[in-house]
Amino acid sequence: MIDIQIIPILKDNYTYLLQSSCGTVAVLDPGEAGPVIEVLNAQGLNLDFILNTHHHWDHTDGNAALKRKYSAKIVAPEKEGALIKNIDIAVKEGDIFTLGTERAQIIETPGHTRGGICFYFKDSAAIFTGDTLFSLGCGRLFEGTAQDMFNGFQKIMALPDETMIYCGHEYTRGNAGFCLAHDRSNEDLKKRIEQIKALRANNQPTIPTSLAMEKKTNIFIRAKSAEEFAALRLKKDNF
Ligand code: ZN
Ligand code: FE
């Protein structure tokens, strides 16, 4: 099992500190280095790997300082090799990234960006989705098509229901309003919104969420076709 710690950074981003049972350490999507260094210092940890789901600055701006300080290796999507500096291990669909005793499968999920990936730790039932899938939402289509993102969702939907989803932003509360506006009689969604409000009132993350929960409440991954998804995404862009 991997140990996962959430490090809130910037305005509403989440960076994740991952530790294998044998003590190998990785940070995922460090949009800034400072808060990561603080956590590593406080816990007396070194940093072995920096993982990136996609090239956006709020997920990668901490790469350089962390790599310099810890000699950590950067693991990032091969298809974004021209956009992310100093990649040591370029990964693509089906590759396995090994974090000490743990293994992560690379799942390509373009749409938000052209080469975005998810890291899926099967034995820990955890997936890091970056800005592809959020709780009750999904990323904007900046570089890919609705069909791209829909295809990526089908790959995620095929994972076990108990899979826990760790995404790149705390957008859940805002997303909830849009889901509810389109799904007014969904009792699971209403219950989830109460839970979200309580968590946010205490400044707690709403992440992780489970795939089972998202299947019941996230109208984007519930879309039955790329066309249905495209129409929802467009409405959300103007919500
Ligand atoms: Zn992004
Ligand atoms: Fe982002």
d(CA 86, ligand 1 centre) in Å: 19
Mean pLDDT for the chain overall: 98
Q: What's the average model confidence in pLDDT over 124-135?
A: 98
Is-contact 135 156, C-beta < 8 A?
Answer: no
Q: What average pLDDT score do residues 12-34 get?
A: 98
Q: Is the pLDDT of residue 229 over 90?
A: yes
Residue 130, pLDDT score: 98
Query: What is the whole-number distance in angstroms between the Cα of residue 22 and the centre of ligand 2?
Result: 30
Q: Per-residue pLDDT averaged across 36-46, rounded?
A: 98
pLDDT band at 122 (very low <50, low <70, confident <90, very high): very high
Quote the pLDDT of residue 231: 97
What is the CATH number that goes with domain 3-237?
3.60.15.10
The amino acid that residue 102 corresponds to is E
Spans of all domains in the chain: 3-237
Q: Calculate how far, in angstroms, residue 63's C-alpha sits from the geometric centre of ligand 2.
A: 15
**Distance between CA atoms of 156 and 139, rounded to whole angstroms?**
14
Residue 135 has pLDDT above 90, yes or no: yes
Is the predicted pLDDT of residue 239 greater than 90, yes or no? no
Ligand nearest to the CA of 14: 2
Give distance in angstroms: CA of 132 to centre of ligand 1. 8
DSSP state of 122: G
Q: Mean pLDDT, to the nearest integer, of 55-60?
A: 98
β-pair type (164-167, 126-130): parallel
Dihedral sign from CA coordinates of 189, 191, 194, 199: negative
Closest ligand to Cα 13: 2
> Before 208, cis peptide (omega within 30)?
yes
CA 58–ligand 2 middle distance (angstroms): 5
CA distance 162 to 209: 10
145 CA distance to ligand 1 middle (Å): 15
d(CA 235, CA 102): 40
Q: Residue 44 has what DSSP assignment?
A: T
Ligand 2 center to 114 CA (angstroms): 14
pLDDT band at 167 (very low <50, low <70, confident <90, very high): very high
In 3D space, the residue among 114, 117, 149 whose CA is nearest the CA of residue 230 turns out to be 149
DSSP 3-state of 106? strand
Neighbours of 237 (CB within 10 A): 9
Whether the Cβ atoms of residue 53 and residue 130 lie closer than 8 Å to each other: yes
* Distance separating alpha carbons of residues 190 and 213, to the nearest angstrom: 12
Q: How confident is the model at residue 20 (pLDDT cuts 50, 70, 90)?
A: very high
Q: What is the average pLDDT across 209-238?
A: 97
62 C-alpha to ligand 1 centroid (Å): 14
**pLDDT level of residue 70 (50, 70, 90 thresholds):** very high
Question: Which one of the ligands is nearest to 170 CA?
Answer: 2
Q: In the numeric block, which tokens belong to residue 102?
A: 């743990």
Across 165-172, average pLDDT: 98
Point out the ligand nearest to the CA of residue 31.
2
What is the share, in percent, of the chain residues with pLDDT greater than 70?
100
- Predicted TM-score (pTM) above 0.95: yes
Name the residue among 30, 28, 21, 22 with its Cα closest to residue 3: 21
191-224 burial, b at 16+ Cβ within 10 Å, e below that, comes to ebbeebeebeeeeeebbbbbbebbebbbbbbbbe
Residue-level pLDDT at 220: 98
